[in-house]
């Protein structure tokens, strides 16, 4: 009997280790972690819309968080990394801000795609290699007189410069009580006092991802930053021209490395997913049409059969993600539909989220169907992308909700058969 117990414990040991590895979670990201939506135009210009900030596991409106008056998420030199399905697309550096009645606070700045960044690195490497080739060879010719090495920028004259007398030491004086200039103040000098309670020299002030120092201070002083942001707010932003691509963007000083969220599948699997999702979307459109249809109630089945909504879908977009890195696909479909039995100017807009279980069956997680005549009651949902808004390695779904009063963004987590809201913005805030 004791031997059987020993063998049983030995058999369960690997399972216990495997379960511990599977349940291991990444370190909790306390933030701050800012999420925005980058509008990248065909002319290479970009604007950033502030969405939300996560701090200590809670989500706040990025357009209002620590706004004095410019929100913290759009302070100068804040760097955002644009991500498509978790894959980096480039970097956006905030330069100026403006307030839009439809989108709230919007930042103008410098956009560099990954291709541009790689080209800059290759150019810098080529320039360094070119300078290295111009350097004199270390070997000396046999029998040649020895030569001294000089720096590349040293003078061609062989005579050493005359030594100038050292300047006398500066007399010790009492420290100046006035406010020192930022460029001449000693490293340990006390910061100037400010009457504002939200001073920029607060040691507990959370920081987002910033540019590396390059000849300037790593952080701007509050007074200088306020003057620059005020001037930027009054400046005319660079217009966006051509088709616009909406890309999620993250700013986090100590966040985890991004990972891809695209679900790998074969073309025939994608077609099977699309067929199932369109069938579910057809049911949603028919249910919505039954509520707004002007067809007499005594013939609903005949009208539904005549409409054939599955063949009337337009602008169909299907995205399949692996949000939890568990090889369990989450499907998101958005489409427009017109029914043959409906009015010519009536168009339905459906957003559908489903997940596949281990048996291959799809479970509806979320569905929102509206029409262009009732956007005041039900907003239209457009998927932006999957993004790690919480910084825990798991992807969330970022939607843009459009109604008659404007548009806003929402971040949602797929948990089981539910779509849980982590943040929902208000239009124009």
Answer yes or no: is pLDDT of 127 > 50: yes
Q: What is the mean pLDDT of residues 111-115?
A: 93
DSSP 8-state assignment for residue 181: P
The answer, yes or no, to whether residue 18 has pLDDT greater than 70, is no
Q: Are residues 349 and 272 in the same domain?
A: yes
Residues 239, 286 within the same domain: no
Q: Are residues 394 and 271 in the same domain?
A: yes
Same domain, 34 and 85: yes
CB 40 within 8 A of CB 247: yes
Q: What is the pLDDT of residues 368-421, one digit of tens each?
A: 999 999 999 999 999 999 999 999 999 999 999 999 989 999 999 999 999 999
Domain match, 232 and 318 both: no
As a whole number of angstroms, the distance between CA 312 and CA 262 comes to 28
pLDDT of residue 30: 83
> How much of the chain exceeds pLDDT 90, in percent?
49
Number of domains in the chain: 2
* The pLDDT value given to residue 291: 86
Cβ contacts of residue 277 below 8 Å, gap of 6+?
318, 331, 333, 352, 354, 362
Co-location of 407 and 305 in the same domain:
yes
Give the pLDDT score at 60. Answer: 96
- Between 208 and 46, name the one with better pLDDT: 46
Give percent above pLDDT 70 in the chain: 65
- Tokens at residue 198, please? 């939200």
How is residue 152 written in tokens? 């590349």
Give yes or no: residues 407 and 295 share one domain. yes
Report the mean per-residue pLDDT for the chain: 77
More confident residue, 126 or 140: 126
pLDDT 10s digits, 145-168: 655 555 555 444 444 555 555 555
Residue 200 lies inside a defined structural domain of this protein: no
**Which residues fall within 8 angstroms of residue 59, CB to CB, at 6 or more apart?**
52, 53, 389, 411, 422, 423
The reply to whether 119 falls in a domain is yes
Examine residue 18 and state whether it is found in any structural domain, yes or no: no
Q: Residue 371 pairs with which residues in a beta bridge?
A: 348
Angle of the 300-307 helix axis to the 267-292 helix axis, nearest 10: 140
- Residue 31's domain comprises 24-128+205-258
* Whole-angstrom distance, CA of residue 316 vs CA of residue 225: 45
Helices (H), 46-190: 114-134
Is it the case that residue 49 has pLDDT exceeding 90?
yes
The answer for residues whose C-beta is within 8 angstroms of residue 233's C-beta and 6 or more apart is 70, 96, 97, 98, 99
pLDDT at 51 over 50: yes
Tell me: do 407 and 338 sit in the same domain: yes
pLDDT digits (tens, 9 = 90+) for 338-379: 887 667 788 999 999 999 998 999 999 999 999 999 999 999
Summarised one tens digit per residue, pLDDT across range 319-337 is 999 999 999 999 999 999 9
pLDDT per residue as tens digits for the range 224-238: 344 444 444 444 566
Distance CA 32, CA 83 (A): 18
C-alpha 218/C-alpha 77 separation (Å) is: 9
CA 407, CA 377: separation in Å to the nearest integer?
13
DSSP, residue by residue, 190-244: PPPP-SSSS-TT-TT-----BPPPSSS-SS--HHHHHHHHHHHHHSPPPPP-S-E
């Amino acid at each position: 009997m004791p031997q059987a117990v020993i063998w049983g414990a030995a058999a369960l040991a690997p399972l216990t280790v495997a379960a511990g590895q599977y349940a291991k979670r990444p370190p909790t990201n306390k933030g701050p972690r800012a999420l925005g939506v980058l509008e990248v135009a065909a002319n290479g210009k970009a604007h950033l819309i502030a969405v939300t900030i996560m701090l200590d596991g809670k989500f706040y409106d990025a357009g209002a968080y620590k706004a004095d008056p410019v929100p913290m998420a759009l302070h100068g030199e804040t760097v955002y990394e644009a991500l498509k399905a978790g894959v980096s697309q480039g970097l956006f550096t905030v330069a100026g801000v403006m307030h839009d009645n439809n989108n709230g606070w919007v930042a103008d700045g410098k956009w560099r795609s990954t291709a541009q960044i790689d080209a800059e690195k290759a150019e810098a490497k080529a320039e360094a290699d070119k300078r290295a080739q111009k350097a004199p060879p270390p070997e000396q010719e046999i029998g040649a007189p020895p030569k001294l090495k000089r720096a590349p920028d040293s003078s061609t004259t062989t005579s050493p410069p005359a030594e100038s007398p050292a300047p006398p030491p500066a007399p010790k004086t009492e420290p100046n009580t006035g406010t020192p200039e930022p460029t001449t103040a000693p490293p340990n000098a006390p910061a100037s006092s400010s009457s504002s309670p939200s001073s920029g020299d607060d040691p507990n002030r959370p920081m987002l991802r910033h540019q590396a120092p390059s000849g300037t201070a790593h952080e701007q002083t509050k007074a200088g930053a306020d003057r620059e942001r005020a001037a930027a707010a009054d400046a005319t932003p660079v217009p966006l021209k051509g088709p616009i691509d909406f890309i999620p963007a993250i700013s986090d000083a100590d966040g985890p490395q991004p990972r891809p969220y695209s679900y790998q599948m074969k073309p025939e699997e994608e077609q099977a997913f699309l067929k199932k999702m369109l069938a579910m979307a057809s049911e949603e459109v028919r249910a919505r049409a039954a509520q707004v249809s002007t067809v007499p109630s005594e013939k609903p089945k005949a009208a539904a059969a005549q409409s054939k909504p599955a063949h009337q879908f337009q602008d169909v977009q299907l995205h399949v993600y692996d949000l939890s890195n568990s090889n369990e696909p989450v499907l998101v479909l958005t489409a427009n539909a017109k029914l043959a039995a409906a009015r010519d100017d009536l168009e339905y807009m459906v957003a559908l989220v489903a997940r596949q279980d281990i048996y291959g069956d799809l479970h509806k997680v979320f569905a929102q169907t509206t029409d262009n005549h009732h956007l005041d009651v039900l907003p239209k949902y457009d998927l932006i992308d999957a993004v790690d808004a919480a910084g825990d390695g798991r992807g969330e779904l970022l939607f843009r909700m459009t109604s008659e009063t404007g548009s806003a963004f929402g971040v949602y987590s797929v948990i089981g058969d539910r779509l849980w809201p982590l943040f929902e913005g208000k239009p124009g805030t």
